Amino acid sequence: MTRFFGRKKPANDPDWLHNCLVQNESSLIRYVHHLTRDLELAKDVVQEGFLKLWQEDQQKLAGHEVPWLFTTCRNRAYDILKRKDRKNISADEIALDIPDSTLNAEQLLDQQDDEQRLKLLLEKLTPQQREVIHMKFEQDLSYKQISEITGMSTSHVGVLIHNVVSKLKASAGAKKEAL
């Protein structure tokens, strides 16, 4: 082991770090950008996360690199946001990626109505619920990974997601009944 910033650096495989970077960098940037709403800051936070990963013992993290990276980047992003006195992200700031297609006017109005309904629903969610929903549906993380990142139990993550999805279904059902 060699010295690395005043402490012993584990003998990690550079290919391991490269593979982690290739497989996770873009999703981490999207996730941190979702939290901070600042792309350059998100890139910096993720870069710091990978620097910290390189300082960790590869053997100890084996198989848990993804939750470790998300947790590390999440914590760093929250530290930065706290310093900026910005504790909550409003639902208006959540980017909704709706695919562009050739819709007729009626379909376009329906889509805009659905987007408004979704925004209203997201506004009613707690920051914790919004974050879990984002991790599950935007980052495609498993319940177990979300659990490891947030510190919640896997069953609690499942309950949160189930409750939000139920609200969405109820909202969609109410729309169909109104027609």
Q: What is the three-state SS of the chain?
A: CEEECCEEECCCCHHHHHHHHHHHHHHHHHHHHHHHCCHHHHHHHHHHHHHHHHHCCHHHHCCCHHHHHHHHHHHHHHHHHHHCCCCCCCHHHCCCCCCCCCCCHHHHHHHHHHHHHHHHHHHHCCHHHHHHHHHHHHCCCCHHHHHHHHCCCHHHHHHHHHHHHHHHHHHHHHHHHHC
Side-chain-side CA neighbours of residue 27 (13 Å): 17
Place of tokens 């504790």: 87
* Alpha carbons 44 and 1: distance in angstroms, whole number: 27
Give me the domains of the chain, ranges plus CATH numbers: 2-83 (1.10.1740), 92-178 (1.10.10.10)
What pLDDT is attached to residue 177? 56
Residuewise pLDDT in 10s, the chain (179 residues): 444 455 555 567 788 888 888 988 999 999 999 888 889 999 999 999 988 988 888 888 888 888 999 999 999 998 888 887 544 444 444 444 444 456 566 666 666 666 777 777 777 788 888 888 888 888 888 899 999 989 999 999 999 889 888 887 777 666 555 55
What pLDDT is attached to residue 83? 82
What pLDDT is attached to residue 3? 46
The answer to whether the predicted template modeling score (pTM) of the entire model surpasses 0.85 is no
What pLDDT is attached to residue 178? 55
